[in-house]
Each structure stands twice: as structure tokens, then as C-alpha cells.
Structure 1
Amino acid sequence: MELVVARVGAAHGLQGMVRLEVRTDDPAGRFAPGAVLPTDPADRGPLTVVQSTERSGSWYARFAEVPDRTAAEALRGTLLLVTVEDEVEEDAWYPHELVGLPVEDTTGRHVGTVAGIEHLPAQDVLVLTEENGARTLVPFVAEIVPLVDVPGRRVVIDPPHGLLAADEA
């Protein structure tokens, strides 16, 4: 399976460095010198990392196949990928595996569907589209989300009263 780890942004400098819109929790490892990254579209890669650096919260990289600013500008919008093995690890999933899963409460009542995951500074949250169409952010902690069953195609939540828009006032 291939996952997106970054999107190439604007060129930075004259020697082919680009800014990366990072989508991984391990940028230092994913963009280590020598790493070879497939791309989407495929004809723009693969790209071999020569140098990467983090400055003021932003990541920048230079690739062996990108000699100058003109080549770097042509990469803008390219997705950088990694190939991962499907691992069997308890309580491990990728966000794309959760999108679309039905959500029920601990009584078995259907409350909505997972629309995505947002990574907020304090914690991750499930983005829940409730049956009435309301968008609700559910803290992704074991006390509130006690079960994520990807093979069984369901997520169980135990929301405190008032979290869901459907809760009575």
C-alpha cells in the first residue's frame, strides 16, 4: 500500500530545494538523505533525498534528480509516497481506513459516520457526520472512543452528554 508523506510546495532558493507540506509523523525519518520516494504522478519520480531540513516548523528537501530552481518549480503539487506493508498491530490504523465507517454509541444506536481525522495540537479528533448532518469533533481518546473495529467496519463511541448535536438540551 502506498501512503502520501508530503506534497511538494514552492521552490526555495536556486539549487533545487523545495518546501514540503508534510503528512507524516516522522519527517526526519521519511526524508532522510538517501531515501527514495515514489511520486504521484509517477513520471515525476522516483526522487532521491539529498538533503532535508526543518526550519521554523517547515520542512525543506533537495532531491538528486532536481538540479535547479526551474526543475523544483516543475515539481510543485507532486505527492511524495512511501510503500508500507499491511501490519497486524492492535489499535493501529491509518486515517483513510476509518473514513466512511459507521459510528454507534455503546447501546448500539447508530449516530453517524466517520468523515475524517483532524490532528489538533492537544489531541487527534474524529470528525463525525451525525445522522442529522451536523459535523461533530469527537476527542480520539480511549474513554470516548473505546472501540475501533476496522475489519468489523464500525466505531463505537461513549460520548459525554452534550457532545453530540443530537443530544437533547
Structure 2
Amino acid sequence: MAELVETTVGVVGRPHGIRGEVVVVVRTDEVARRFASGAVLRTADGRRFTVTSSRQTPSRLVVGFEQVSDRNAAEQLRGAELFAVVPADEMPSGAEEYFDRQLIGLRVLDAAGHDVGEVVGVEHGPAQDLLVVDVAGAQRLVPFVHALVPVVDLSAGHLQLADVGGLLFDPGEDT
């Protein structure tokens, strides 16, 4: 049996309408997979919710749950972080895509192959994702684009940065 892991997929926002739907702030690139009808999500306190509907509007994702039937129940869910339990070896739908859980913990190598830090988080920005890299106790943000991070080797446990000055260290900073 495959090992299972828990992954954050969204945070419940405000209610939408009077029938229990909610706006979800998405925390996954796999929206269609995670919010498909019948998907079961849970909250940090262990409550389980079955997706009955989801639709993307121009500015938000609206989700309905079997267990949430009115606006009052939807309001009670506001702020809840939603998790999905998935196989640890599950891969994203697209090539050259990674789940946050695959990137966090990877060693970061500079262009010369020297170990310079560790990925400790991923921030999802409007333009692109940012890797949060711990470099000797200081956190640096690296845009997660192929031009700056040309190598991601999950099996070796590292990623390698391009030879771009100032990417992890400020000019004049001791390295």
C-alpha cells in the first residue's frame, strides 16, 4: 500500500449565496483534481467534507460541500484550512510541475554545485511561485522559473540555481 501524505489545497473564505457554498482561496495547482465532485477534504480539527460542486468564476473558486447546506454553516467554516490525503508518490498533471511537498526540504546548490541552503517553503505569487530558501539562517526568495532554477532532481534531493549574481546574496554581503 502506498504511503499517504496530507497536502494543503485551500482556505475557506466567505460564504457565497444562501445554499452553503463558500469561496475558497486556492493553495494547489491541481484545482480540478482536488475540488472534483466527490473529493473528500478535511480540516485541521478532523472534520471531513465531500465536494458536491466547484466552479471557477473570473476571480474566485466557489465550492459546495455535502455537509454544508446553508449560509450559517458556511460562515462557521470560514478560515478553515482544507487538506487532501494523497499518495506520497503522486505526481502533478503537467510535466515540469512539482507539488510544494516535493520541493520543501530539497538542498539548494549554486551553479558550481556547492550546497548553499535548503528550500523551507513555497509562496504562490501572482506572477510565479517563489521558493523560500534558508541560507545560513536567513530566508531568501527565489523565483521558481526555469531560467533561475534549471535543475530540479527529486531523486537526488536537490535543485540547482543558475549562475545569476545576487540571487541568494546581496552585493557586498559576505558569502
* Same-fold status (TM-score > 0.5): yes
Residues 38 and 51, structure 2, Cα contact 8 Å, conserved in 1: yes
Deviation at 1:28, TM superposition (A): 4.3
CA distance in 1, matches of 2:44, 2:167: 41
Equivalent position to 1:52, from 51, 54, 62: 54
What is the TM-score when the length of structure 2 is the normalising length? 0.75
Contact 1:113 1:130 in 2 (8 A): yes
* Residue number in structure 1 paired with 2:155: 151
Distance 2:9 2:150 in 1: 28
- For residues 36 and 88 of structure 1, what CA distance do their matches in structure 2 show? 17
Instruction: Tell me the distance in 2 between the aligned counterparts of 1:39 and 1:5.
Output: 10
Structure 1 gaps of 5+ residues are none
Q: Which has the larger radius of gyration?
A: 1
CA contact (8 A) 1:112 1:130 kept: yes
Question: Normalising by the residue count of structure 1, what TM-score does the alignment of the two structures yield?
Answer: 0.77
Of residues 6, 14, 17, the one that matches 2:18 is: 14
Tell me if structure 2 keeps the 8 A contact 1:11–1:17: yes
Residue 118 (structure 1) aligned with residue 123 (structure 2):
yes
SS in 2 for 1:38: strand
Please say if 1:138 is aligned against 2:142.
yes
CA distance change for structure 1 residues 165 and 28 in 2, over 3 Å: closer, same or farther? same
Q: Among all aligned residue pairs of Structure 1 and Structure 2, give the percentage whose two residues are the same amino acid.
A: 37
- d(CA) in 1 for partners of 2:66, 2:41: 13
Q: Residues 108 and 166 from structure 1, CA distance in 2 versus in 1: closer, same or farther, beyond 3 angstroms?
A: farther
Residue 80 of structure 1 pairs with residue 82 of structure 2: yes
Local SS of the residue matching 1:7: strand
Aligned Cα RMSD in Å? 2.8
State the shift of 1:99 in Å: 2.0
The 5 A counterparts of 1:31-42 are 31-32=35-36, 34-41=37-44
For 2:63, the aligned partner's letter is A
Separation in structure 2 between the aligned mates of residue 121 and residue 38 of structure 1, nearest angstrom: 25
When residues 129 and 76 of structure 1 are mapped into structure 2, their CA distance, relative to the original with a 3 A threshold, is same
Equivalent residue number for residue 102 of structure 2: 97
Report if aligned partners of 1:162, 1:168 keep a CA contact under 8 Å in 2. Answer: no
User: In the alignment, what sits opposite 1:109?
Assistant: 114
CA contact (8 A) 2:49 2:66 kept: no
Q: Per-residue deviation at 1:57?
A: 0.9
